[in-house]
Amino acid sequence: DIQMTQSPSSLSASVGDRITITCQANQDISNYLNWYQQRPGKAPRLLIYDASNLAVGVPSRFSGRGSGTDFTFTISSLQPEDIATYYCQQYDTLPVTFGGGTQVEIK
Amino acid sequence: QVHLVQSGSEVKRPGASVKVSCQASGYTFTDFGISWVRQAPGQGLEWLGWVSAYNGDSSYAQRFRDRVTMTTDTYTTTAYMELRSLRFDDTAIYYCGRSEPTVVTHFDHWGQGTLVIVSS
């Protein structure tokens, strides 16, 4: 199975800060990488698909980039409603696998 | 709009089976597939498998292959996930997510989750 390593596992930032989460695959997955947001007690929500495409209805402060093995996810200006855990997910090779998650908190 | 509505919580004994449903609305059911993802308490996300409502194809993660079955009913636009020989570590929230019809890519809509508790 393809291993997805996310970092950091948690972070704390102020409202308005720019934050970046990284996701590394242990083999080349091209751009077959998605990002999800999971608020506490809720189902995941698709934010970014195919590494850099914004899903429908997702605010433009969210972005993603990368290809191959290294990917980044950025929130350009952190908002209180962004408190959540964020997961990357690869679909290059089955089984689909997820990163371990990054918990984002407000300082 | 797209809705995926899952069945209610379940409590099962070790060794039993559970069947979770996911009723879809707001889109053409047979144009997509459904994946199933679970989340153990305080843990991350784990993909169990995918079933196509388009052609009935399915693909399961190796570790579940011998005890999971995923099906769809195109008349009721409902997907099902049955997990057999339940163990304590199968306790989790089980989510359905809409997928592509012939390949697994991203999950653009999710059900609300079904809590399955395995307890003696």
| A37-61 pLDDT, tens digit each | 999 999 999 999 999 999 999 999 9
For residue A15, the model assigns a pLDDT of 98
Q: How crowded is the C-beta side of B39, counted as CA atoms within 13 Å?
A: 24
Taking 70 as the pLDDT cut, the residues of chain B under it are: none
Rounded Cα distance between A75 and B72, Å, is 37
In the prediction, which pLDDT does B110 show?
A: 98
Residue B77 and residue B95: Cα distance in Å, rounded?
Answer: 16
Tell me the chain B residues in contact with residue A86 when contact means C-beta distances shorter than 8 Å: none
| H/E element, B46 | strand B46-52
The residues in B 24-83 lying below 8 A from A, measured between CB atoms, are: 35, 37, 44-47, 59, 61-62
For chain B, give the longest Cα–Cα distance: 41
Residues in chain B, how many? 120
**B44 with A43: Cβ contact below 8 A:** no
Residues 6+ apart with CB under 8 A from A48: A34, A35, A54, A55, A58, A62, A63, A64, A73
> Binning pLDDT at 50, 70 and 90, where does residue A18 land?
very high
CB B52 within 8 A of CB B58: yes
Please report the DSSP string for B101-113 in residue order: SSS-----SB---
Question: Residue A55: which of B62, B103, B108 has the nearest Cβ?
Answer: B108
Nearest-CA distance A87 → chain B (Å)? 8
The pLDDT > 70 percentage for chain A reads: 100
Q: If you measure CA to CA, which chain B residue comes closest to A93?
A: B104
User: What ranges in chain B are assigned the alpha helix state H?
Assistant: none
Residue B28: what residue type?
Answer: T
At A83 the pLDDT is 97
pLDDT digits (tens, 9 = 90+) for B81-91: 999 999 999 99
- pLDDT at A1 (0 to 100): 96
Of B46, B61, B108, the CB nearest to A46: B108
